[in-house]
Amino acid sequence: MNSLATLQDQVKQEKNQTVAIANAGDETVLLAVKKAIELDLCSFILFGDEKQIIAIANDINLDVKQGNIEVSHVVTNVADEAVKAVHQQKADILMKGHVPTKKILQAVLNKEYGLRTGNVLSHVALFEIPNQNRLFFLTDAAMNIEPDLNQKVQIVDNAVKVARGIGFRMPKVAVISPVEVVNPSIRSTLDAAALTQMQKRGQIKGCIVDGPLAFDNAISLEAANQKNITSEVAGKADLLMVPTIDVGNALYKSFIYFAQAKVAAIISGAKAPIILTSRADSAESKLYSLSLALASSKTF
């Protein structure tokens, strides 16, 4: 797989799913909905102010009265209603519209009608980077600030679930550190070595883990060879696991702004995929994230 567009082909081969959008009264969100409908990817329940949604939809020539779109008029607790739809299995995917991230996460973590599983929630991004012949996963760039070893195990599990859902049978996970040797003074190298050993002993399943690996020798065979690193992951990583949100956020934005990468991103660790895009994200990016959620949902 070397293109995010191929996700849409995967989705078309799956059963039709329904996406619940919390406050769909946003132009870029509805543009993504329009494109998804045109591609016959899924159905939608649009929660929010019905008049506002219809007005924006009319401006972009989106017919919200067609059979695969339902508008649910809600003006308060919009996030809660969208989450309830997924909890009650009226929808398969949760998507953030024009609503604060804090509100939607509070609803997701609600003990009565939320989508908790006991695992941490973590951000999983999939990048299409120019001049690269494969896609790269990156985790966690947005949710967990400075995870401990147990949380890192869950973050790997969450990301592997997504990767396997779109066809990576045994994803290669590189645990990123500043150096590729264990240094007791650098906690990330100790955690990386522990994660590697835990995978070898069957405590982490469905993937191959290696670390610590510096960024260059995780993605470049030439760099790995220069440092005489021999492993199944070095230079061939599918999934980059970062030690902290600082590293993940910097890498994420560097890929986009320096390398003009395309990205799809979802939250994993709940009972269903959560599309938690930013208002600044383009309709194209929202569509890619939607496609990733739909394609990977069968492993949730």
Which spans in the chain are helix H? 6-12, 27-38, 50-59, 78-87, 101-108, 149-165, 187-200, 215-219, 221-226, 245-257, 283-296
Rounded-to-10 torsion of CA 35, 36, 39, 44: -130
Among residues 163, 293, 294, 149, the alpha carbon closest in space to that of 240 is found at: 163
Are 45 and 90 in contact by the 8 Å Cβ rule? The answer is yes
Rounded to the nearest 5°, which phi and psi values hold at 289?
Answer: -65, -40
Name the packing angle between helices 187-200 and 149-165 (round to 10°).
60
Write down the pTM of the prediction: 0.94
Report percent pLDDT > 90 for the chain: 91
By CB atoms closer than 10 A (0-12, 13-18, 19+), residue 131 is exposed
Question: Is the model's pLDDT at 300 over the cut of 80?
Answer: yes
pLDDT value of position 47: 98
CA 122 from chain centre, in angstroms, equals: 8
Contact 8, 32 (CB under 8 A): no
Over the stretch 57-96, which tens digit does the pLDDT of each residue have? 999 999 999 889 999 999 899 999 999 999 999 999 999 9
pLDDT digits (tens, 9 = 90+) for 89-103: 999 999 999 999 999
Please say if the pLDDT value at position 227 is more than 80. Answer: yes
Instruction: Using a pLDDT cut of 70, give the percent of the chain over it.
Output: 100
For residue 294, the model assigns a pLDDT of 96
Collapse the DSSP code of 263 into the 3-class scheme (helix H, G, I; strand E, B; otherwise coil) and give the result.
Answer: strand
Is it true that the peptide bond before 212 is cis, omega within 30 degrees of 0? yes
